Structure 1
């Protein structure tokens, strides 16, 4: 049945192909082209103008790009030079900074040393001021002591002068009574007492004076104040030291010069018999 249907359709196609065609192709819009008037000369001219303008545009662009490239290279070179100068400046500034830091460190060390010296000087000055104050106090105290001693010496000298005025007649009496004289010994604190004895019969004349008398001498150290002891510092001819000390002790106990003069006269008389 399928074969029969296919055969029928084929037959109808063939019949349609074999039938004469009555369609007019000349009047068909499929076979007719539009009538177009194209101005080729104007188009060519416009293309040439466009080409010239485009070439000029390209040339200007090339020049602009070249100029920009040259400007960029110049600016880049300037930037490189500036960068080099900046690096050199940074290196110089770094070196100067290091130098300044070292200088600052030295100045700080010197400042600390100066401050330490100032502190030491202030301490030394304070110590010297304290020492000066102590010395002033000591000097003032010494001056007061000296003034007190001078006043005591003046008082003692006045008493001695007064006593000398009173003792003058007494000393003259002792000189006459004991056959002696008072002489200076080259020192204000020493008094030389010289006893005179008659010449010894048949004795050596070498020890006698021109008039034939013999001399016996002792030196008495007079104290500066009434509380200090008398001392016999020289005797000629030589006497027994213990006996001389005994006479001096009696003098210091009694403070009477007659005790000494009489006691020494007795000792010399015994020695020069």
Structure 2
């Protein structure tokens, strides 16, 4: 039943198509709008003119571009040359600055060395000055002490000289007596601390000469009242032990007569 309906519909479609194409069958082929071309005016002269103008403009554009490229290349080369020159100048300046820096560092090192040497010398001088100051103070103290000692000794000598002067005034008559009694004389020796005592002896009996004989000795006077006398020179020579005994008696008694009598006896014995 379904197949019957499909066949009927197909037949009716074909019938309607045939009826619609029947009126157009009488039209010719040339009158069909599908076979006819439109009329077109291409205007080749205008196209050539426009192409020529475009070519001129394009050539001008290319020329301007070429010039711009050349100018930019020249500017680039010039700028590159300037950069190279600046680089060489910078390298020269850097080398100069490095040399200056090296020289400056060398100068700083030398100045630092000189500074260290100067500080060392200053320290040495300060130490030397301190040593000299200590030595000066020590010498001042020693000088002051020596001056005090000298003053004490001078005062003692002045006191002793005054005492001896007083004693000499008292001993003057006694010395005169001993000089007459013992045949001697007291002379200066050129030294204030020494006196020379000369004994005079008669000529030797049975001798060839009638001249008097002399014996002399130098007596050293002590610097203080408690000092000891000493015989420093004798002519003729005497035995030291015997002379020492005479000096011991003198130092113990402080009597000049003891010395004069003892020494005259020793000389008389030696000159027999």
Query: Do they superpose with TM above 0.5?
Result: yes
Root-mean-square deviation (CA, aligned residues, Å) is 2.8
Cα displacement string for residues 176-198 of structure 1 (whole angstroms, at most 9, x for unaligned residues): 22221111223222211112223
Cα displacement string for residues 187-244 of structure 1 (whole angstroms, at most 9, x for unaligned residues): 2222111122233332231xx54xxx33222221111222221111222233333222
Cα offset, 1:27, TM superposition: 4.4
Q: 2:203 aligns with which of 199, 202, 218?
A: 199
Secondary structure, counterpart of 1:195 in structure 2? strand
- Give distance in 1, aligned partners of 2:85 and 2:237: 119
Cα offset, 1:109, TM superposition: 2.5
User: 1:222 maps to which residue?
Assistant: 221
Distance of aligned partners of 1:29 and 1:272 in 2 relative to their CA distance in 1, 3 Å threshold: same
The gaps in structure 2 that reach 5 residues or longer are 1-13
Secondary structure, counterpart of 1:235 in structure 2? strand
> Aligned residues, how many?
258
- Give distance in 1, aligned partners of 2:32 and 2:154: 173
Q: Does 1:22 align with 2:21?
A: no
User: 2:7 maps to which residue?
Assistant: none
- Give distance in 2, aligned partners of 1:204 and 1:58: 166
Secondary structure, counterpart of 1:215 in structure 2? strand
How do 1:32-43 and structure 2 match up within 5 A? 32-43=36-47
User: 2:118 maps to which residue?
Assistant: 114
- Give distance in 1, aligned partners of 2:146 and 2:97: 70
User: 2:9 maps to which residue?
Assistant: none
TM-score by length of 2: 0.83
The gaps in structure 1 that reach 5 residues or longer are 1-11
Q: Does 1:46 align with 2:50?
A: yes
- Give distance in 2, aligned partners of 1:46 and 1:272: 177
- Give distance in 2, aligned partners of 1:241 and 1:149: 31
Secondary structure, counterpart of 2:199 in structure 1? strand
Cα offset, 1:47, TM superposition: 2.7
- Give distance in 1, aligned partners of 2:131 and 2:31: 143
Q: Does 1:149 align with 2:153?
A: yes
Cα offset, 1:118, TM superposition: 1.8
Q: 1:137 aligns with which of 135, 141, 145?
A: 141
User: 1:255 maps to which residue?
Assistant: 254
TM-score by length of 1: 0.82
Cα offset, 1:25, TM superposition: 4.1
Cα displacement string for residues 2-45 of structure 1 (whole angstroms, at most 9, x for unaligned residues): xxxxxxxxxx9xxx9xx994344444432333344444433333
Moved segments of 4+, more than 6 Å: none
Cα offset, 1:107, TM superposition: 2.6
How do 1:207-246 and structure 2 match up within 5 A? 209=211, 213-246=212-245
User: 2:193 maps to which residue?
Assistant: 189
- Give distance in 2, aligned partners of 1:270 and 1:77: 133
Q: 2:109 aligns with which of 100, 105, 110?
A: 105
- Give distance in 1, aligned partners of 2:40 and 2:261: 191
